[in-house]
Structure 1
């Protein structure tokens, strides 16, 4: 039977090895827009429409480069102006990347999008001609300037502008931004543009010590790479966490008795979470789950969750009678520890599993990884770790040394060695002394009043924190604090968002533009956007069919009216080539035959300003969406590059509320299933609510906002908080003693020390991540510390006072300990007795005899 058990464990390890081969299917996914946009958010739909619009061309590529003077003065001073022109020219046509033996520059792949960056070049050269060389008579007005009859909009590129009070001519500007746009048509162009993007970033980094100007760069690609770098910073620290927890677990498992001590068993217990990580990650890789940067935190959480069970197993094992056969002793250990471990594993699994149904893909994937890992860890702890403890029990029966199992220790040697003190026993004895003292204090009415006053103040402070919490995810939260992209984010927030931005309006069903009522109605649509809150007005609007109608008038000798047949040739002309990306044309034949399918869809853009706060941007988005909805016949949609961040304000609060409420209901049902008593259910549920109120309130005081990352940690906190409460509640519920005082002592002695060990080991697992200066990582560290502190406070201090103040249960249920199947070999003679509540109870005769002869319970096996 023992050999078959060993074979079963070998099969389990073999299955783990097979699952680990899922690494061959490993693939990363790192796109901030896709990962952190809610599935049902308007911005995700709007981005999908935008992508679909450009699909006929390819995928849009966009790098923004900003320039500031080193002394933060005007960039239009002579030597600064020359440097800016030199830098712009270098980025536009000299910065090259190698590909297939060629050197490729931006000018080689920008095509019709070159003009988006040409705006800055035109302005700078015109300014130098007019103000420095005193040539030309172009009026450089703001926000638009007229160059030989062509209106050029500057507000997207020129910032912190100083104007002449009388003429409104530009006299200076303190920041210039260049938009480098292109279309990625195939894999080759993607590779080329990614290389060029990287070189732009490296160039910007090289200007940190420039005496004249500083260059900053950003793009979606650079943001995604920086998020990846931030996440991967955590992985090397898993080794430090593992060693710290391993050392702590082994040290706190040592006993005075060199035989009953369990150093190797404790060490093997720390490996179970590692095995569960290997198996769970391998399984999910086989299931084609992508790996996201946020998943880098999962190993630390799983290690923290898994090691907690080791302390409970060891503590329950030491509380069993050492005179029992090994199989029966392990059975009693499982009967004692199994329910507690099952409760905590189930609640941890459910809290993360619930997160899978939140609308944010990054949180869905993160929760899937940790949920599956928790299931594997529970399986390994129950089956594999109990088998390891069985080997340890057999070693103990043979009186073999705990550290060197091949050495036998005689009773004389054992007694001499036991006289030496050790950390674990001393700490546990101190804990038991504290328990006796605290239970006596907790039963006092004065203590109850003090605790009640403390809880009132605690709830007020926590509630105030909850009411003050800020909502929203920003890109800088995904970066490390030393990220080279943060200076640009600061410029973006303080300058660009305040002074200028563009919203694109897509007309996805223009209809028959030849009908006389269509163009006036589209112009009303344009006018509504130009007069929306924060809009700059018609000077900022880019609308392709205004120049096209003029072109048609020339071709038709003055006749005004929309014609499809001139569209293909209009878009090919050099002076109008930039409008090519504003329209989706159908077949050329349809255009020649004046069919409306010639023009499938188009977009225009208009400028806005003074939308610095995300709440302000959300108001603009809502207003724009309402305007678009009013013109439903055209199937209008909008696109603003940062709408995904503003939309967080729409989804994160209701999603968090509903998810947290559902999680609390599930936790209450689990507690009800394991402790079916009104006293324990109500008190434990309210205590869990109190812990999580404290967690939510603490977010504000610790500078954590409500965003997808903190939402995941909040759900994690719910699961973790149950760990601390469920252990005490379960042992109090199943206590055999009639008096509340003795019952509390029994419950706390059964679980307080391993619960404290678990709390310390959890902090040890995560605290090493505190050295990583990144919001995304620090949120997990801070929330785990808060949960552990509040969990221990409520579990060991608050809850005993609550139980002591509540009336006892009406019926006393004797705790008949379930024995493992191996104990079925014993005689099954039973007797019936009647307790004071007149409840018939059936117990095993031999168990009753043991209790009469040996006392109420063995506290440990140290002798």
Structure 2
């Protein structure tokens, strides 16, 4: 029985060799089933490809599973599902109250009086104006109904539109089709970022929006325009009312007198018209303000909006995309004639970008495969037909393709979806999949050709089987660990599907490719599977036929654990044995190489030190995407100037109690007075407006009748306060004057958050404040891009956990080089690079394992001799493996996307650095530390004397 750990390891190693040897014998004698078995399995998996689903949901892909924002998002959905409640008045009645002619006329008179007063004119009632509207987060607070105005003034309400060529079937829409909801949005900036709140810009801009309403495009034989996609709402027609604020802003900023009017407070992000608050924070950005009331002086970004709502059929979606492209062209034409720029954006723009990344990346798998095939074919062609293996290696690439088909077929059938991160998986498996082929072919070439074919296959599996098993298990383990430990779903899915792909590729290599080598060996004397490419001439004596019974070796004398190489091994194997190995073991080469390693370590450590967590939407879109401009603009203004999170109170205080109201106001006050808060002027809280409204009833006691549904109904029925109704959830069966508000939400604004570090710090500050008031069961939502923020806290720990868990010398060194190299090449630590680093951990050890395994199995007596033996066996196959990877993936830089670029950089870094480790530093190190070369001199001398005697 073994007595030491080393002996147990040797025992296990010999057992592995024996197992693979016996397996190889079985394959060599029965190649038919090992050839057709994987092909049959592949055919069975092909139908699974038709279950392909593409996941473009950034929230589902990139929000960590344990991120607070996921909890907040889910609770936000719960809030939205809560019934609004009944205030004892039918919805129809409340709607009619809000649209009464009295309210309309009152608003019209207010506006006209304000304008007349600003111009110093006498107020004379005129025809009704178009309604004045502002955007309140994701809903519209409408002051008036344009259709009603037109009807009252003699208009028939019909819109003249160009004649359209339509199919009759389009008149009937299947109501079961899900609706596509979106916002067509264009951000307007001056080319020199000048103030846009000037009449010379506002007036023409409103006219441009009217022109845009007439833009049409032709798609699939039909003319489509805004009327085909807009959300008509209650008006049942498409209007430009969302942008009518520009027309009124033109009047307000035409001269400075109106801003001095006491009835108008032009504050930001909430202005007050006749003391009525209206949110404009999502309409203008880059705002210059002055004074305690944040009075607006100017703005550098304006917003144009159109709501979209149509049946989301594939044809309609394609037509909508075509229409959007036409709108982009229209605004570009305007930009060429003016000083303005128009930056398109819509709520589904990131989804479109994710799809375009997939569409841009996946097709490159074809040229990558072709280049890989060319490399492996050419690098394995020889004029010596018994050593030439071009067709065999070509079929080795098909081994990888077969594994990919089975992987995707099984995963898609089981319900897994495809996403932009997993789109790089085929390139990875192609890159590493053929490595095992090179090792198996290299082991084949070293064997004595007088052995029977099945014996040679057995010895190949005995020599290479354990080695490729170790590397495959390492890769499988690393990706499986990444799946278990990574909390970002997109990266976890990438790790899982890659682990499965690596496993299936391993199975095809030891079955399908082993069978290919068997059939090749049977025809080796005529050129293997490429026999047709060689002339049929007599074989030279040194290359005598393997089927010549007079020259075969007795099978009973074959020892799978100890067998000599063939005398006539290929030239490149000899080159690595007699040229490369002695060269790298020279003392002066060792000194230079380790000085080079010291420089490499310093540069890598420097790169690791500057590698920072940086999460930005830029990482998830193409380099040439039009959204790049929007992201830069948003980073500078939109996500910085007016951040308005929504705070949800799921267990409201008893608002009849003055003490509880004061405590709640204290919490709001703290939110209003953080380092980046705009302040009280930006807070949008229904409770305060309701209290002001109740002040008009001096006889009402709030401590008793705060929850009187009559007052609440009247309050929410007011046109100015109807915007709060959907923010308050009412309990229908609450008794008279008892608390009937089950939950509500409010907003307050922040500014100056011009970096993701500040946004993250402020978000955590908000959470910390509301967590101090657990009695309210509060959470927040609707901030920034929810899939970005919480990644910053989870990415660095996840990467470090995986790295520390697996490190050895080569693994640590190569991983250090990859991380440092990525930093120096401009990459940051994010969900994309994290997946690549996980990948690098698995790949980094591959080449070193092959060298170490062959070194350990060598029967040479000294370290230098073992290095020569190891490099002779696997030096050239490892170099071929690296070359095939670098050559095959050389097409990826043509994909202009960050996530593909980081993948490309990682693969190149890990292969180049891994090859240098495997062929230079690792052989030098293991030779220097080998116990055979560290026998004390006195013992060496005593052995010499003993042998002389």
Question: In structure 2, what is the Cα distance between the partners aligned to 1:194 and 1:562?
Answer: 52
1:253, 1:262 within 8 Å by CA — same for their partners in 2? yes
CA deviation after TM superposition for structure 1 residue 572, in Å: 4.3
The 1:439–1:194 alpha-carbon spacing in structure 2 relative to 1, beyond 3 Å, is closer
Matched, 1:238 2:365: yes
Matched, 1:74 2:195: yes
Q: How does 1:575-594 map to 2 (within 5 A)?
A: 575-587=720-732, 590=733, 593-594=736-737
Match of 2:909 in 1: 786
1:529, 1:627 within 8 Å by CA — same for their partners in 2? yes
Matched, 1:621 2:742: no
Give CA deviations for 1:766-794 in whole Å, capped at 9, x if unaligned.
22111111111000101111111101111
Question: In structure 2, what is the Cα distance between the partners aligned to 1:545 and 1:471?
Answer: 40
CA deviation after TM superposition for structure 1 residue 305, in Å: 1.2
Q: How does 1:189-228 map to 2 (within 5 A)?
A: 199=323, 202-210=326-334, 211-212=337-338, 213-228=340-355
Q: How does 1:298-697 map to 2 (within 5 A)?
A: 298-357=425-484, 358-397=486-525, 402-404=530-532, 408-411=536-539, 429=571, 432-433=574-575, 435-554=577-696, 557-560=699-702, 561-566=705-710, 567-568=712-713, 570-587=715-732, 590=733, 593-596=736-739, 598-639=740-781, 640-664=783-807, 685-697=808-820
Match of 1:293 in 2: 420
CA deviation after TM superposition for structure 1 residue 204, in Å: 3.7
Question: In structure 1, what is the Cα distance between the partners aligned to 2:529 and 2:215?
Answer: 74
Question: In structure 2, what is the Cα distance between the partners aligned to 1:163 and 1:616?
Answer: 21
CA deviation after TM superposition for structure 1 residue 101, in Å: 12
Question: In structure 2, what is the Cα distance between the partners aligned to 1:701 and 1:234?
Answer: 24
1:146, 1:152 within 8 Å by CA — same for their partners in 2? yes
1:400, 1:407 within 8 Å by CA — same for their partners in 2? no
CA deviation after TM superposition for structure 1 residue 755, in Å: 0.3
Matched, 1:760 2:905: no
Question: In structure 1, what is the Cα distance between the partners aligned to 2:473 and 2:200?
Answer: 68
Q: How does 1:30-45 map to 2 (within 5 A)?
A: 30-45=56-71
Between 134-143 and 219-228, the greater mean CA deviation after superposition: 134-143
Match of 2:89 in 1: none
Question: In structure 1, what is the Cα distance between the partners aligned to 2:768 and 2:234?
Answer: 35
2:206, 2:246 within 8 Å by CA — same for their partners in 1? no
SS of the equivalent of 1:785 reads: helix
TM-score by length of 1: 0.82
Question: In structure 2, what is the Cα distance between the partners aligned to 1:764 and 1:413?
Answer: 37
The 1:795–1:709 alpha-carbon spacing in structure 2 relative to 1, beyond 3 Å, is same
Question: In structure 2, what is the Cα distance between the partners aligned to 1:31 and 1:207?
Answer: 28
SS of the equivalent of 1:18 reads: helix
The 1:504–1:193 alpha-carbon spacing in structure 2 relative to 1, beyond 3 Å, is farther
SS of the equivalent of 1:44 reads: helix
Question: In structure 2, what is the Cα distance between the partners aligned to 1:515 and 1:444?
Answer: 88
The 1:595–1:8 alpha-carbon spacing in structure 2 relative to 1, beyond 3 Å, is farther
CA deviation after TM superposition for structure 1 residue 194, in Å: 10
CA deviation after TM superposition for structure 1 residue 301, in Å: 0.7
CA deviation after TM superposition for structure 1 residue 468, in Å: 0.9
Match of 1:22 among 28, 36, 48: 48
Matched, 1:147 2:270: no
Match of 2:285 in 1: 159
1:462, 1:693 within 8 Å by CA — same for their partners in 2? yes
CA deviation after TM superposition for structure 1 residue 413, in Å: 12
Question: In structure 2, what is the Cα distance between the partners aligned to 1:198 and 1:222?
Answer: 14
Match of 1:723 in 2: 846
The 1:690–1:775 alpha-carbon spacing in structure 2 relative to 1, beyond 3 Å, is same
Question: In structure 1, what is the Cα distance between the partners aligned to 2:787 and 2:931?
Answer: 54
The 1:180–1:517 alpha-carbon spacing in structure 2 relative to 1, beyond 3 Å, is farther
Matched, 1:803 2:920: no
SS of the equivalent of 2:601 reads: helix
The 1:102–1:655 alpha-carbon spacing in structure 2 relative to 1, beyond 3 Å, is closer
2:380, 2:393 within 8 Å by CA — same for their partners in 1? yes
Question: In structure 2, what is the Cα distance between the partners aligned to 1:320 and 1:399?
Answer: 17
CA deviation after TM superposition for structure 1 residue 478, in Å: 1.0
Larger radius of gyration: 2
1:142, 1:154 within 8 Å by CA — same for their partners in 2? no
CA deviation after TM superposition for structure 1 residue 266, in Å: 1.3
Question: In structure 1, what is the Cα distance between the partners aligned to 2:583 and 2:31?
Answer: 48
The 1:291–1:479 alpha-carbon spacing in structure 2 relative to 1, beyond 3 Å, is same
SS of the equivalent of 1:145 reads: strand
The 1:298–1:107 alpha-carbon spacing in structure 2 relative to 1, beyond 3 Å, is closer
Superposition CA RMSD, Å: 3.7
1:272, 1:380 within 8 Å by CA — same for their partners in 2? yes
Question: In structure 2, what is the Cα distance between the partners aligned to 1:539 and 1:408?
Answer: 93
Give CA deviations for 1:789-836 in whole Å, capped at 9, x if unaligned.
101111101111112221425999xxxxxxxxxxxxxxxxxxxxxxx9
Give CA deviations for 1:730-771 in whole Å, capped at 9, x if unaligned.
000110010111111000011010100000111122221111
CA deviation after TM superposition for structure 1 residue 464, in Å: 1.5
Question: In structure 2, what is the Cα distance between the partners aligned to 1:56 and 1:205?
Answer: 42
1:66, 1:217 within 8 Å by CA — same for their partners in 2? yes
Question: In structure 2, what is the Cα distance between the partners aligned to 1:623 and 1:383?
Answer: 58
Match of 2:115 in 1: none
SS of the equivalent of 1:216 reads: strand
Question: In structure 1, what is the Cα distance between the partners aligned to 2:708 and 2:386?
Answer: 93
Give CA deviations for 1:685-720 in whole Å, capped at 9, x if unaligned.
212211111111112110000011111111111111
Question: In structure 1, what is the Cα distance between the partners aligned to 2:569 and 2:243?
Answer: 71
Question: In structure 2, what is the Cα distance between the partners aligned to 1:662 and 1:88?
Answer: 59
Which consecutive unaligned segments of at least 5 residues does structure 1 have? 417-425, 665-684, 813-835, 837-863
SS of the equivalent of 2:272 reads: strand
Match of 1:848 in 2: none
Question: In structure 2, what is the Cα distance between the partners aligned to 1:355 and 1:290?
Answer: 18
Question: In structure 2, what is the Cα distance between the partners aligned to 1:415 and 1:326?
Answer: 15
1:32, 1:224 within 8 Å by CA — same for their partners in 2? yes
Match of 2:158 in 1: none
2:654, 2:661 within 8 Å by CA — same for their partners in 1? no
SS of the equivalent of 2:227 reads: strand
Which consecutive unaligned segments of at least 5 residues does structure 2 have? 1-25, 84-178, 545-567, 936-942, 944-949
Matched, 1:280 2:424: no
Match of 2:143 in 1: none
CA deviation after TM superposition for structure 1 residue 162, in Å: 5.1
The 1:362–1:110 alpha-carbon spacing in structure 2 relative to 1, beyond 3 Å, is farther
Question: In structure 2, what is the Cα distance between the partners aligned to 1:61 and 1:52?
Answer: 22
- The total of aligned residue pairs comes to 777
Give CA deviations for 1:171-209 in whole Å, capped at 9, x if unaligned.
543211356679x8x977999999878855652453224
